């Protein structure tokens, strides 16, 4: 619909950025300003978009024959049951779905990070103080820090994409060109 009204103007990157911010606000999170004008990349590799591997953490992590040691045993059992049931998804933070809060950090303290990369934030002595601070922060502090971080993140631009990028006509595909 956007492409019909404003052809080659609004990028998929801008749409995704705005949708992420608006979804956060709908869940009770903070609002932050977004710089528009990003370009979409001209390379799309479907293998890079496959589902995030989590099951390997449950059964034979790194050839040990055991679950990942950074995963709480009860949480690992819960995830194993979800896998057996063939569930379509597991919530990243299942304690308070539909709410934007700092429960994610509290879960990391309990070794209940769904993704190992997330759990490493608590396991690493360089970042665990931040996890602890956010776990106990009042909502206003957490919201302000989140908005500031997202603003910084939103200002990161890949020069290659900005220079040689495009505004896709269909977000699922790179534009086709006649050479």
Average pLDDT over residues 91-110: 88
CA distance 72 to 86: 21
> Is a pLDDT exceeding 90 seen at residue 128?
yes
Range among 49-58, 94-103, 158-167 with highest mean pLDDT value:
94-103
> Is a pLDDT exceeding 90 seen at residue 124?
yes
CATH superfamily, domain 55-89+103-136, is: Peroxidase, domain 2 (1.10.420.10)
Task: Tell me which residue of 93, 144, 100 sits closest to 133, measured CA to CA.
Answer: 144
Residue corresponding to tokens 């606000």:
25
Q: For residue 175, what are its two tokens?
A: 């534009």
CA distance 175 to 179: 12
Annotated binding-site ranges for substrate: 53
Annotated binding-site ranges: 53
Least confident interval from 86-95, 131-140, 155-164: 86-95
Give the 3-state secondary structure percentages of the chain, helix then strand then coil, rounded to 5: 50, 0, 50
Measured at the CA of 119, the angle between CA 117 and CA 123, to 5 degrees, comes to 110
Average pLDDT over residues 76-101: 80
- Segments of the chain assigned to CATH 1.10.420.10: 55-89+103-136
């Amino acid at each position: 619909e956007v492409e019909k009204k404003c052809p080659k103007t609004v990028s998929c990157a801008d749409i995704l950025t705005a949708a992420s911010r608006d979804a956060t606000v709908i869940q009770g999170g903070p609002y932050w300003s977004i710089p528009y004008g990003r370009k979409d990349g001209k390379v799309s590799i479907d293998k890079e978009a496959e589902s995030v591997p989590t099951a390997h953490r449950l059964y034979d992590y790194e050839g040990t024959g055991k679950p990942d040691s950074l995963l709480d045993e009860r949480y690992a059992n819960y995830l194993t049951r979800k896998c057996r049931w063939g569930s379509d998804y597991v919530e990243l933070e299942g304690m308070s779905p539909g709410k934007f809060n700092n429960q994610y950090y509290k879960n990391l303290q309990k070794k209940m990070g769904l993704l190992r990369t997330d759990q490493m934030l608590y396991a690493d002595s360089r970042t665990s103080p931040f996890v602890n601070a956010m776990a106990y922060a009042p909502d206003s502090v957490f919201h302000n820090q989140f908005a500031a971080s997202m603003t910084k993140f939103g200002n990161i631009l890949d020069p290659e994409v900005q220079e040689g990028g495009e505004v896709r006509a269909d977000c699922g595909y790179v534009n086709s060109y006649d050479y």
